[in-house]
Amino acid sequence: MKNQSFYFACCVLVALLSQASAAENNNGSTADVGITAGAQASAASSAKGVRAYAIVKPGGEALLKKGFKSITNPQTGVYCLKPKNDLNLDLLGIAPSVTVEWGESSGNNLSAFYHQTVPLACSEKEIEILTFSFTAGGNNEPSNNVAFVISVP
């Protein structure tokens, strides 16, 4: 039940909805709200103003996606998301929102971000997402331990 509530919260973030996955108690604290798989799917399908979104596990498996034909992980820390043709996205004119999905990630000090300049491993028809693990005092390393959420308005 906890994972379903978390995925629902991610869907809401991706969909830029104003609903929350927590309910306020009389004392102002929050309590977890049980969310069914059906409610999760309903929230995802009603993502207004969002052309494509996905919750992507390390390695490239999508827990949830809309508007993407494929998701690949061609090299460590690089994910290529191919939008469906019918979206007619101008990939040079988009500004996707990307964030780490901590429930499926492993490790600390992780990041995920959209890489628009010359692709490292993706084609010009794919959206490239880079994922990293940071070590204090050390080098930032590409990582396949990072799950992420992407939203394309």
Show me where the domains of the chain are located: 1-48, 50-153
The contacts of residue 70 (CB under 8 Å, 6+ apart) are 80, 81, 82
Under 8 Å between Cβ of 132 and 110: yes
Q: Per the confidence metrics, is the pTM higher than 0.85? A: no
pLDDT 10s per residue in the chain (153 long)? 444 434 434 444 443 322 222 233 333 433 333 334 544 454 455 567 899 999 999 999 999 999 999 999 999 999 999 999 999 899 989 999 999 999 999 999 999 999 987 778 999 999 999 999 998 888 899 999 999 999 999
Under 8 Å between Cβ of 129 and 150: yes
Residue by residue, DSSP assigns 36-68 as -HHHHHHHHHT-TT-SEEEEE-TTS-EEEEESE
> In this structure, what token pair is assigned to residue 122?
């993706």
Find where tokens 């590409």 sit: 142
